[in-house]
């Protein structure tokens, strides 16, 4: 059986054909190009789904269904994305609009939930009955798996871990609150923090690495830190502390068997994970328990959301 998973993000729309072994055998992508009308975005979702099947060398008739992972509150009962602050969606009927084009059953789920399901079925949390997957990207996504199933609350709004507050009256968040974890620990936040540090220190090595503020990315401060740059190190240390603050909250609430981190920042590997583990070990409430949550980097990378979305309807 083949099904298609679509990962709808703030930067890219990616579709993949997934087989029964949870392998992606063909894919396609395009830019999300925000801001623009939801209908235009959904039209591109249909295009990349059709292209993915072609790239997998199978007929679209062989596709059983299409699953969509989308940021925000996704009501799979009626196929409506009720709210997505990063996409500026309010009550968007993704299922109906997408079905009009591709004529396949459509399932929708929060993108971080889909990624968590993907990691549970085929990645770092495989075999765990309880896990939480945190995705660090445009925002901070949280996916919760309890007893092997996605937990999304009675109203499909559960798991929005990026919108727990870690700084009272802190940075404004696109959700309307101030001080959200997302505003401090997302890749977007890291880039903003790096730019602020560069503007405050014109002699920072970060200027030599990025050349301009427009070229700053999530690696800039880490690369500068490795070259002995004081400002780069301060950015990295602050960022890791912000990230750890939220992770400790998550562990204290759920005590999952596995906590996985995904997103491009995780390519830093031990440079990121080792200091996080030290902070977690120091501050978690369960420090005296015999069993402890294991922290892993997600194994599937950007494929997690595609594989999870493709498995929503199974």
Write the pLDDT tens digit of every residue in 270-292: 999 999 999 999 999 999 999 99
Dist CA 12 CA 33 (whole Å): 8
| Contact (Cβ atoms closer than 8 angstroms) between residue 169 and residue 149 | no
Name the pLDDT band for 139 (thresholds 50, 70, 90): confident
Evaluate if residue 118 carries a pLDDT over 90: yes
Question: What mean pLDDT comes out for the span 11-19?
Answer: 96
- Give span(s): CATH 3.30.420.40, the chain: 2-117+303-310, 128-297
Question: What mean pLDDT comes out for the span 122-137?
Answer: 93
Measured CA to CA in angstroms, residue 192 lies from 15, 30, 266 at distances of 29, 25, 18
Q: What is the pLDDT of residue 254?
A: 96
Dist CA 20 CA 57 (whole Å): 16
Verify cis geometry, omega within 30 degrees of 0, for the bond prior to 305: no
Classify residue 113 by burial, with Cβ atoms within 10 Å: 0-12, 13-18, 19+.
buried
Q: Sheet holding 140-146: strands in order across?
A: 149-150, 140-146, 130-136, 258-262, 294-297
Q: Among 3.90.79.10, 3.40.50.1820, 3.30.420.40, 1.10.1060.10, what is the CATH number of 128-297?
A: 3.30.420.40
pTM across the whole model? 0.85
* Residue recorded with tokens 């990026």: 162
Residue-wise pLDDT tens digits, 147-164: 989 999 999 889 989 999
DSSP-derived 3-state class of residue 142: strand
What is the chain's mean pLDDT, rounded? Answer: 95
Q: CATH classification of 2-117+303-310 is 3.20.20.70, yes or no? A: no
Measured CA to CA in angstroms, residue 85 lies from 30, 100, 170, 174 at distances of 21, 25, 18, 6
Considering the chain, what percentage of its residues have pLDDT values greater than 70?
100
Please count the helices (runs of H) and the strands (runs of E) in the chain.
Answer: 10, 13
Measured CA to CA in angstroms, residue 38 lies from 43, 108, 180 at distances of 9, 15, 26
Q: What is the pLDDT of residue 11?
A: 86
Evaluate if residue 62 carries a pLDDT over 90: yes
Dist CA 225 CA 52 (whole Å): 40
Q: What is the pLDDT of residue 302?
A: 82
Q: What is the pLDDT of residue 81?
A: 96
Dist CA 307 CA 305 (whole Å): 6
């Amino acid at each position: 059986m083949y099904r298609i998973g679509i990962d709808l993000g703030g930067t890219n729309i990616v579709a993949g054909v997934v087989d029964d072994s949870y392998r992606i055998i063909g894919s396609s992508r395009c830019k999300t190009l925000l801001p623009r009308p939801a209908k235009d975005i959904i039209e591109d979702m249909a295009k990349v789904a059709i292209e993915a099947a072609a790239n997998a060398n199978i007929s679209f008739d062989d596709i059983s269904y299409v699953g969509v992972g989308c940021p925000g509150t996704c009501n799979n009962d009626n196929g409506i994305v009720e709210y997505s602050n990063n996409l500026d969606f309010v009550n968007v009927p993704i299922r109906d609009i997408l079905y009009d084009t591709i004529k396949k059953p459509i399932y929708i789920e929060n993108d971080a939930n889909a990624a968590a399901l993907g990691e549970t079925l085929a990645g770092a949390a495989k075999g765990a009955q309880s896990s939480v997957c945190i995705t660090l990207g445009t925002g901070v996504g949280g996916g919760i798996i309890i007893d092997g199933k996605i937990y999304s609350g009675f109203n499909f709004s559960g798991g929005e871990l990026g919108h727990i507050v870690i700084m009272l009256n802190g940075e404004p968040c696109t959700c309307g609150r101030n001080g959200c974890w997302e505003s401090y620990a997302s890749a977007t936040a890291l880039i903003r923090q790096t730019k602020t540090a560069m503007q405050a220190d014109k002699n920072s090595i970060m200027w030599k690495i990025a050349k301009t503020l427009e070229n700053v990315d999530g690696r800039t401060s880490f690369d500068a830190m490795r070259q002995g740059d004081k400002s780069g190190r301060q950015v990295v240390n602050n960022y890791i502390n912000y990230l750890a603050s939220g992770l400790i909250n998550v562990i204290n609430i759920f005590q999952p068997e596995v906590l996985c981190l995904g997103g491009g920042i995780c390519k830093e590997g031990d440079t990121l994970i080792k200091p996080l583990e030290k902070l977690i070990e120091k501050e978690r409430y369960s420090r005296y328990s015999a069993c402890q949550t294991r922290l892993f980097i997600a194994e599937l990378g950007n494929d997690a959301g595609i594989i999870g979305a493709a498995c929503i309807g199974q």
